[in-house]
């Protein structure tokens, strides 16, 4: 059952010209962000690009210098009291009482929530601990927890009540591969239940595996946003042709408006000429994937090119990120 209560076409998060300056330094510059309801939204960018500052403004934890932010259709921070009970968040790492157990910390935090139901507190705490895989360690003092366990406890705190929006800042930080997989599964289950999930991350695998939409930040500015397919399609696709007629193949590709790259030998065979029995690998860049692959193959065959292999590789999210930010992207935990 969906936990959402707002109109289905109301964005979960919407900012207009949102700006945050610290003296002469602008951390977030004129941000126009749109997070559709029901999306798993990846918020990407190098360190220092303004991701966490944006999250803090959206949640009312930091005042904007200018611009506006709306969460679940409500203005922030003026309607903070109406919004926060509907939002769960894990931002900048969780902070807990080190000499209390994980369970005791959650009970204490839930008690401080004026909207939390006292009668169901114990059951909700136990369910949240179970959901993040901390049931066996619930009685241990938090000072004995690893960084990954503290991350899990922070997630459990965010899950103490049903939420329409979950905001997670680097949720897999400190987790081992198994813990990372469990968090991904948790995010999917939240989305399946109707919760919008906003994930700030620098991990390509995390974004590609769980997100439906993404936005990319660079130096405080939003440089791209949309569905993952839209972001990939905006990059450069590449085709690969295996043929012994590499010279003729290059000519055809040029005539089609493509950009042939270097020719590579297939195996130990020579790289050029029709006498190459194994064939050469000819690659070409396409600005878009609008030209169907079958049309390219037809043109090659009509020109007498012997095509022994053909593939189209759409632009990847990593390539798009690098093109927009000029920086590499971590691809694994």
Q: Give, in words, the CATH class of 237-314.
A: alpha beta
How distant, in Å, are the alpha carbons of 62, 159, 251, 269, 284 from that of 280?
58, 55, 14, 8, 13
Domain positions in the chain are 13-233, 237-314
Strand 221-227 versus strand 213-218 pairing type: antiparallel
Residue 293: what pLDDT? 81
Q: How far apart are alpha carbons 202 and 151 in whole angstroms?
A: 16
- Bridge partners of 22? 25
Instruction: Compute the half-sphere exposure of residue 268: CA atoms within 13 Å on the CB side of its CA.
Output: 0
- Bridge partners of 200? 43, 169
In angstroms, how far is CA 71 from the centroid of its own chain?
A: 19
Residue 80 parent element (H or E): helix 80-83
Q: How far apart are alpha carbons 317 and 212 in whole angstroms?
A: 12
Q: How far apart are alpha carbons 102 and 96 in whole angstroms?
A: 8
Pair 35, 13: CB distance under 8 Å: yes
Q: Which of 38, 35, 33 is nearest to 4 (CA)?
A: 38
Length of the chain: 333
Letter string b/e over residues 117-140, b meaning 16 or more CB atoms within 10 A of that residue's CB: eeeebeebbeebbebbbbbebbee
Pair 133, 90: CB distance under 8 Å: no
Q: How far apart are alpha carbons 135 and 120 in whole angstroms?
A: 17
Q: How far apart are alpha carbons 48 and 64 in whole angstroms?
A: 17
Which residues are within 8 A (CB) of 15 and not within 5 positions of it... i.e. 6 or more apart?
A: 31, 32, 33, 54, 57, 58, 67, 68, 69, 70
Q: Which of 151, 152, 146 is nearest to 132 (CA)?
A: 152
SS3 state at 113:
coil
In angstroms, how far is CA 57 from the centroid of its own chain?
A: 19
Q: How far apart are alpha carbons 82 and 316 in whole angstroms?
A: 40
SS3 state at 310:
strand
Same fold, 13-233 and 237-314: no
In the chain, the largest separation of any two C-alpha atoms, in whole Å, equals 82
Fold type of domain 13-233: Rossmann fold (3.40.50)
In tens digits, the chain (333 residues) has pLDDT values of: 344 445 557 899 999 999 999 999 999 999 999 999 999 999 988 888 899 999 999 999 999 999 999 999 999 999 999 998 899 998 876 789 999 999 999 999 999 988 889 999 999 999 999 988 899 999 999 999 988 888 889 989 999 998 999 999 888 877 788 878 888 888 888 898 899 999 998 777 678 888 999 998 888 999 889 898 888 766 667 788 888 888 898 898 888 888 787 666 655 444 444 444 556 888 776 665 557 788 889 999 999 999 988 887 766 666 666 666 555 544 443
> 276: left (phi > 0), else alpha (psi -120 to 50), else beta?
beta
Residue 317: what pLDDT? 66
């Amino acid at each position: 059952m969906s936990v959402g209560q707002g109109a289905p076409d109301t964005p979960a998060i919407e900012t207009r010209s949102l700006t945050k300056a610290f003296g002469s330094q602008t951390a977030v510059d004129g941000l126009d962000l749109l997070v559709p309801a029901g999306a798993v939204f990846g918020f990407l960018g190098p360190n220092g690009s303004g991701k966490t500052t944006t999250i803090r403004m959206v949640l009312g934890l930091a005042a904007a210098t200018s611009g506006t932010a709306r969460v679940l259709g409500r203005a922030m921070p003026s309607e903070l009291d109406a919004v926060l009970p509907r939002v769960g968040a894990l931002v900048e790492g969780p902070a807990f009482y080190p000499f209390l157990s994980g369970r005791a910390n959650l009970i204490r935090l839930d008690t401080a929530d004026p909207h939390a139901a006292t009668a169901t507190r114990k059951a909700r705490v136990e369910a949240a601990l179970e959901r993040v895989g901390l049931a066996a360690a619930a009685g241990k003092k938090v000072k004995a927890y690893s960084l990954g366990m503290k991350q899990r406890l922070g997630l459990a705190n965010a899950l103490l009540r049903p939420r329409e929006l979950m905001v997670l800042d680097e949720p897999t930080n400190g987790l081992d591969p198994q813990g990372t997989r469990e968090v991904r599964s948790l995010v999917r289950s939240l989305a399946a239940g109707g919760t919008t999930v906003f994930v700030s991350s620098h991990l390509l695998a995390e974004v590609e595996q769980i997100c439906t939409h993404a936005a990319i930040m660079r130096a405080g500015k939003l440089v791209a946003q949309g569905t993952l397919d839209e972001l990939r399609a905006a990059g450069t696709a590449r085709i690969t042709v295996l043929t012994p007629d590499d010279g003729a193949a290059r000519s055809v590709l040029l005539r089609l408006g493509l950009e042939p790259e270097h020719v590579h030998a297939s195996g130990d065979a020579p790289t050029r000429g029709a006498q190459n029995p194994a064939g050469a690998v000819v690659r070409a860049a396409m600005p878009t994937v609008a030209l169907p692959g079958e049309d390219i193959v037809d043109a090659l065959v009509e020109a007498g090119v012997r095509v022994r292999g053909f593939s189209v590789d759409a632009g990847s999210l990593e390539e798009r990120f690098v093109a927009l930010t000029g920086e590499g992207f971590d691809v694994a935990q």
